[in-house]
Chains A and B, each alone.
Chain A
Amino acid sequence: MALENILILAAASLLWAMTFRNHGRTWFMLIASVIVIFWLQPALPIRGADFFTPLATLALVVLTWFITADDETRKQRKNIIILAVVAGVVLLLNLTRFLPADFQLLTASRPPQLETTLFIFLITGLTLIVLSRLTRFSASFLTVGLILTIGLFLLIKIPDLSLWLASFLRTLSGQSLTNVSANDFRWLGFSYVAFRLIHTIRDKQSGRFPSVDVGEFITYVIFFPAFTAGPIDRLERFIKDLRAPFTGLNLETFYPAGQRLLLGLFKKFVIADALALIALNDTNATQVTSTFWMWVIVYAYACQIYFDFSGYTDIALGIAQLLGIKLPENFASPYLKPNLTQFWNNWHMTLTQWFRAYFFNPITRWLRSWQKPMSIPMMILLTQVATMLLIGFWHGVTWNFTLWGLWHGLGLFIHNRWNDATKAKSAAWATTPTRQAALNISGILLTFHFVAIGWIFFALSSPVTSWQVILKLFGVN
């Protein structure tokens, strides 16, 4: 999100909270979120894609709600009203195509013809009708939904598949394939949307899904402060805040919200953007020749990514708080943690919690349930590496994200084994506050440098360049 987007959203939220308080707050959040996903979607080279992409997000969210909601909730009349309002908002956005270009402010390019949007509505509506009439809802719908969401996710994240998708969509819209690229189809916020949808489907499968109407569900999945950069909230927690009466702005809400927002703006637009000028990237990685300056730009990248990401989180938390929603924390001084396990407990916390809940714990339980379970170290190695590889793939299915995941997976395993082997000795040695502090500080420094070196794979696109940078860091040219 650009600064002007953030300021407009913050001002709109503040104005709403000051003026209307609890009246229509959920409607405001729903409608604002629907508008924002169209507004923030960047322009795409594929004709109409920057309008249809957010529309596809909405369709996907509605379908997921439909297969996860219980019969009673699904049949409530208010859902039809909500869907009609959402469709009305989308149609109004679509109708801006008839305004002069200068007034088409809410979409990246001129919206497509109305007929296509109506056709998508029709298909979505028919799917809902067929789903509801076809048979009783069964677990297989959920499985299909899960596979479809993961499939879409892979389609977006694997460069070869993205290229195929871009070619397909270009052909569909009658465009030339000359300049087709895997980056043609950038689906804003889909990484987060997919994880929220998977979370709700899995919770439904395990019987933990709360009863929510379609408006609450849409608001949860595309809640505008957290749409582009998280955090990944849990539905049952979000709904609690959404349904709680909002008492308006008082000292308890306004000051922390304002502070958080300002802190986030400062972190992102002053510190992170300044560091971005000197942070490691594909170009400067090959230009810097000295060890000292290589460390400087690697440190700059490590700090930039933290301030950028945690700044956005602060902004999201601040804006949400203005509306009475307390989103979960995503960062808790991760670079000041004395080991890698603690680093990951405090970096992008909602993502790691998500992976812990929906991958690490289930797979660990499954491995333990074997008749002849594998050894504990082997199990830890397998689960840690697999989890971190998946977190790497969440960012993009490339060799460098694979290496980054592997780096952290192995790091977590080594830390686990080291900790097991030395815990007693460390405790026996660190008997004085000075020794404890020394142990803590050396742990922090070691962890930070391990993470910083890992960021090299994250920042660069080529394993060869990454390796050359690592060699330069250690004085090998």
Chain B
Amino acid sequence: MNEIKPLNVLIKGLLLFILFNLVIAAWQPGIGQFSLYNVLYPGRERLPFGENPTQSYNLSLFDLDAMFASHVIAGTPKADDEFRVIIVGDSSVWGTLLKPEETLAGQLNADNLNACGKNVRAYNLGYPTISLTKDVMLLSYAMEYDPDLVIWMTTLDAFPLEKQTSTPLVANNEEKARELATNYRLRVEANDSNFKVISFWDKTFIGNRRAWADFFRLQIYGVMWSATGIDQVYPSDYEKAQTDLEADDSYHDLTAPLTEDEIALNALETGYRVVGETPMLLVNEPMLISSGANSDIRYNFFYPRWAYDDYREIMATLSQQNGWTYADLWDIVPANEFTNSAIHLTPAGENMLAENLAPYILETCK
């Protein structure tokens, strides 16, 4: 029997593996564009996000191509009679603790609105982190799906400068952020340390194994999404949003009064440049207005009154100056219709919001 040299076998195997990794690093195949969603399974009603995949059949990943490819909008050709509305924003749009049909998009669809003689079909493109730059990034993708109206739900906490690129979705997509900077004048620092530095190693198969695994897991969880319609954990009990507040009027190291140069208005303007001629409704989203301890100092856990009042004033002035359609709906939902956060609404709260937004949607055609 021939004596073989296992060491040689191991060395050859290792060399082949290294070669494979080098090919992947050089090629960067961009597998995110391929998806079993909208082919084998129905697309997801909202973008993939999940911190407990085994229970929510959903996971957080940073591949925007894969995220959008799994969304129902990617598999829905726009019909002639469709009035396509896309909604971007934070977790209040995405719908934390809400079933897809209970979210703002779901409620608008249930209303069977008719705009410009067409059927309104709303798509939930919210994502549960708060950053205007993240919204702009998602908006730039969403524009590929030819919306008739964009609804951009936002709140003051999306505006602080330090929050713009620190959100993981942006931090892991520096290239996209730079594209927005080049094409739409998004302000991005040249040496922003929030961006994850991608080395050559990170581009290899082994270096980028997390992203590969996430991609495959997203595809596999499509089975459970199809089978159950579940895409987040719905706990039977949760801690209600705080109404007794600290006697603290600080906000992100800022001091009164809040000025335009202290917040990321550039990202807001970039959003308008991204949507171009497409009508966009900018909405200051509802928030919990507390009447508990120290509510004379703070509105809620997020905001001291001075900062939020200044922010509303800035937004009103800015939208008037720029001719933006702006809806300040900050106080339309009573405190009892919030769930586990000062911006997360109950289904009834979402319904109130949908009713308030419906006239704006219908106005778009006039």
A and B from one complex: yes
Contacts A284-B227, A287-B228 given; does A252 touch B220 at CB 8 Å? no
Contacts A274-B220, A277-B217 given; does A250 touch B227 at CB 8 Å? no
Contact with A along B202-234 (1 / 0, CB 8 A): 000000000000001100110110111010000
- CB pair A290 B221 closer than 8 Å: no
User: Number of residue pairs across A and B with beta carbons under 8 Å?
Assistant: 55
- CB pair A290 B220 closer than 8 Å: no
- CB pair B224 A277 closer than 8 Å: yes
- CB pair B4 A251 closer than 8 Å: yes
List 10 additional contacts besides A254-B9, A274-B216, A287-B230; criterion CB under 8 Å: A18-B6, A18-B7, A250-B2, A258-B9, A274-B220, A277-B221, A290-B227, A293-B228, A297-B223, A297-B227
Q: Is B256 an interface residue (CB 8 A)?
A: no
Q: Is A165 an interface residue (CB 8 A)?
A: no
Q: What are 14 A-B interface contacts by the 8 Å CB criterion?
A: A18-B7, A250-B1, A250-B2, A258-B9, A277-B53, A277-B54, A277-B217, A277-B220, A278-B224, A278-B227, A283-B55, A293-B223, A293-B226, A293-B227
Q: Is B253 an interface residue (CB 8 A)?
A: no
Q: Which of A266-298 contact B (CB under 8 A)?
A: 274, 277-278, 283-284, 287-290, 293-294, 296-297
- CB pair A296 B228 closer than 8 Å: no
- CB pair B230 A296 closer than 8 Å: no
Q: Is A7 an interface residue (CB 8 A)?
A: no
Q: Is B237 an interface residue (CB 8 A)?
A: no
A7 and B2 alpha carbons, distance in the complex (Å): 26
A284 and B220 alpha carbons, distance in the complex (Å): 15
- CB pair A278 B6 closer than 8 Å: no
- CB pair A251 B2 closer than 8 Å: yes
Q: Which of B126-147 contact A (CB under 8 A)?
A: none
Q: Is B3 an interface residue (CB 8 A)?
A: yes
Q: Is A59 an interface residue (CB 8 A)?
A: no
Within 8 Å by CB of B227, from A14, A249, A255, A287, lies A287
| Chain A residues within an 8 Å CB radius of B1 | 250-252
For the complex of A and B, 5 pairs with smallest distance between CB atoms? A293-B227, A287-B228, A278-B223, A288-B227, A250-B1
A84 and B142 alpha carbons, distance in the complex (Å): 71
A92 and B192 alpha carbons, distance in the complex (Å): 52
CB distance from B325 to the nearest CB of A (A): 41
Contact with B along A243-260 (1 / 0, CB 8 A): 000001111101100100
| Chain B residues within an 8 Å CB radius of A248 | 3
Report how many residues on chain B are interfacial, defined by Cβ distance under 8 Å. Answer: 20
Which residues of B are at the interface with A, using a C-beta cutoff of 8 A?
1-4, 6-7, 9, 53-55, 216-217, 220-221, 223-224, 226-228, 230
| Chain A residues within an 8 Å CB radius of B53 | 277
CB distance from B58 to the nearest CB of A (A): 11
A287 and B9 alpha carbons, distance in the complex (Å): 48
- CB pair B223 A296 closer than 8 Å: yes
Contacts A254-B9, A274-B216, A277-B54 given; does A284 touch B3 at CB 8 Å? no
| Chain A residues within an 8 Å CB radius of B224 | 277-278, 284, 297
A284 and B4 alpha carbons, distance in the complex (Å): 50
CB distance from A324 to the nearest CB of B (A): 14
The residue of chain A having its C-beta at the shortest distance from the C-beta of B2 within the complex is: A251
CB distance from B129 to the nearest CB of A (A): 25
Q: Which of A138-179 contact B (CB under 8 A)?
A: none
CB distance from B51 to the nearest CB of A (A): 16
| Chain A residues within an 8 Å CB radius of B230 | 287
A300 and B222 alpha carbons, distance in the complex (Å): 14
Contact with B along A212-254 (1 / 0, CB 8 A): 0000000000000000000000000000000000001111101
A251 and B2 alpha carbons, distance in the complex (Å): 6
- CB pair B220 A278 closer than 8 Å: yes
A277 and B2 alpha carbons, distance in the complex (Å): 44
A396 and B53 alpha carbons, distance in the complex (Å): 28
| Chain B residues within an 8 Å CB radius of A283 | 55
A297 and B223 alpha carbons, distance in the complex (Å): 9
Within 8 Å by CB of B4, from A14, A254, A297, lies A254
CB distance from B143 to the nearest CB of A (A): 33
- CB pair B220 A288 closer than 8 Å: no
A251 and B1 alpha carbons, distance in the complex (Å): 7
| Chain B residues within an 8 Å CB radius of A274 | 216, 220
The residue of chain A having its C-beta at the shortest distance from the C-beta of B216 within the complex is: A274
A300 and B53 alpha carbons, distance in the complex (Å): 18
The residue of chain A having its C-beta at the shortest distance from the C-beta of B220 within the complex is: A277
| Chain A residues within an 8 Å CB radius of B3 | 248, 250
CB distance from B113 to the nearest CB of A (A): 29
CB distance from A213 to the nearest CB of B (A): 31
CB distance from A84 to the nearest CB of B (A): 34
A274 and B36 alpha carbons, distance in the complex (Å): 15
CB distance from B18 to the nearest CB of A (A): 18
A369 and B54 alpha carbons, distance in the complex (Å): 54
CB distance from B49 to the nearest CB of A (A): 17
| Chain B residues within an 8 Å CB radius of A277 | 53-54, 217, 220-221, 223-224
